[in-house]
A = this chain, B = another copy of it.
């Protein structure tokens, strides 16, 4: 293994489909990334026969790490953290901790993954809890939005940290030197947002980030910013509302096209166009939310991901590690700290 090789630890047992999805995804990833390696973590009896179906030129860059246990999708994160020390999820994170892998990916229980990632990888100095940052399609490309995890009741300082982490993720994955950062806010005439959001705006202004100010809800999909910052409550609602609306429109379209013979013929004619549209916003392409603020790369895939979707999550973890997202965040936090110390020193000097 050359020093350039990046190894991804894959929790092969997580998600709705387990190894039947995760193993093919890992091998497809290897095919597309000639310099990468994977460690398939899970029940070796299940993994070995699947792996054996692939050519040696690929499988020589894959190894298996046996794990006895699996974290159940409905298991309490606290109990999973306590009891599942031999789980595939835990062992995959251990590999990152030990430096044997540079990133890990899991489609398992979100709460358990957050708790374990935090416990095993530890937080960066000054960050309390990991933030969950997915990537979402927009009119003009895509947007990173955070927090979509469980960080409710955020302080202005937390929102600032989200801005830093999101910007560094965008810079690592999209190679943008100064991605634009927007603060999710409301547009009422008299009162622009609540107290915390107002304060966060002030902090972001003085952060050194490319902060573009407030972004309203519709701005997310208009591509108003590369990164949109909000607390976990608002972010969760925004994401779920989008899912619900897209589902409603999709189902209604099906119903309308299914009404009669003529509409079914129209559906046939429209099918290639509708397929293109579907491909354009294919949620599988956007699979893989980054857990940020940790001392290592941990990526969460949707539980229902298929092999194509799970491969995207692996590729995203690979890019994050390859382009040093953790080091970027760490440097940006240090920079902010230094900037504040300098400002405080200058203020002291003035007062003296």
Contact = CB atoms under 8 A, between A and B. Distances in A.
Specify which of A110, A248, A276 lies most central, judged by the most chain B CB atoms within 10 Å of its CB.
A248
Interface of A, helix, strand, loop or mixed by DSSP: helix
A343 interface: no
A190 B280 contact: no
A350 interface: no
Contact of A247 (B152, B189, B218, B240): B218
Contacts of A195: 153
A238 interface: yes
Contact of A222 (B248, B249, B262, B270): B248
Contacts of A269: 265-266, 269-270
A263 B273 contact: yes
B152 A191 contact: yes
Given A149-B188, A193-B233, A216-B237, 15 more contacts: A110-B189, A150-B188, A150-B189, A152-B188, A152-B191, A186-B232, A188-B236, A194-B233, A217-B237, A217-B240, A219-B240, A237-B237, A237-B238, A266-B270, A267-B273
Which 5 pairs from chain A and chain B are nearest by CB?
A217-B240, A218-B244, A111-B189, A150-B188, A221-B244
11 contacts: A193-B233, A197-B233, A217-B240, A218-B243, A219-B244, A230-B237, A242-B245, A245-B246, A249-B249, A259-B273, A267-B273
